[in-house]
Amino acid sequence: DGGITQSPKYLFRKEGQNVTLSCEQNLNHDAMYWYRQDPGQGLRLIYYSQIVNDFQKGDIAEGYSVSREKKESFPLTVTSAQKNPTAFYLCASSSEFYGYTFGSGTRLTVV
Amino acid sequence: AQSVTQPDIHITVSEGASLELRCNYSYGATPYLFWYVQSPGQGLQLLLKYFSGDTLVQGIKGFEAEFKRSQSSFNLRKPSVHWSDAAEYFCAVVTGTASKLTFGTGTRLQVTL
């Protein structure tokens, strides 16, 4: 079945450490997105990519980086510059305007 | 700037009662509107979407939503709530040419038996 796979489901980061969240889709969607979810704040856009080898900052890109080397993959790196990384991270993909498909999320915790 | 407002943070209804979740948007052009549902620790599932045409949209799980341009609203309704409907519900609007979704802050639905 087509869908989006996010891994790992749970991730723990030490202070000063970079971590990378994986997002893979087999829907042949052109566009992919990363959202951050915090309680009471809904979902906020971190980065998005409409085509391979191109991506744009969203509303809260500081402390994050992405790459889009393949259509299927859009990994997110949470760098040490992100001072409050504890959150639930959701990856999504879309084709034209026909709705988004979301992954099941990665919960990142700073220890 | 485009925005989505869900004025109710938390709603409690009894099983079998009707439900209406409110959503107001601010967007200059004709909006593309969505409702998503999220169970705890899970991703988001699309309930329904509105692009154009009939302003009453039917979705999955017995949900429907009505687009009212004059009120800038896209409220979600269900005639009879089931205990399994307890979840968080998000209204969203596509903004700009990059198909970016802007979300409301969500409404948490609790269902009492």
Instruction: Indicate the residue of B32, B34, B98 with minimum beta-carbon distance to A48.
Output: B98
Sorted by sequence, the CB contacts under 8 Å of residue B5 that are 6+ apart come out as B23, B24, B25, B26, B104
The burial class, CB within 10 Å (0-12 / 13-18 / 19+), for B69 is exposed
Q: Decide if pLDDT at B97 tops 70.
A: no
CA–CA separation, B22 and B5 (whole Å): 8
pLDDT, greater one: B27 or A52: A52
- Residues B41-92: tens digit of each pLDDT: 888 999 999 988 889 999 999 999 999 999 999 999 999 999 999 999 999 9
Give the closest-approach CA distance of B42 to chain A in angstroms: 5
What is the structure's pLDDT at A67?
97
Asked if A60 has any chain B CB less than 8 Å from its own CB, the reply is no
Question: Residue A80 is encoded by which pair of tokens?
Answer: 């040490």
Q: How many helices (H) and strands (E) does chain A have?
A: 0, 11
Q: Do A42 and B90 touch (CB under 8 A)?
A: yes
Between CA B51 and CA B58 the distance in angstroms is: 13
pLDDT digits (tens, 9 = 90+) for A24-79: 999 999 999 999 999 877 899 999 999 999 999 999 999 999 999 999 999 999 99
Q: Which residue of B has its CA nearest to A58?
A: B100
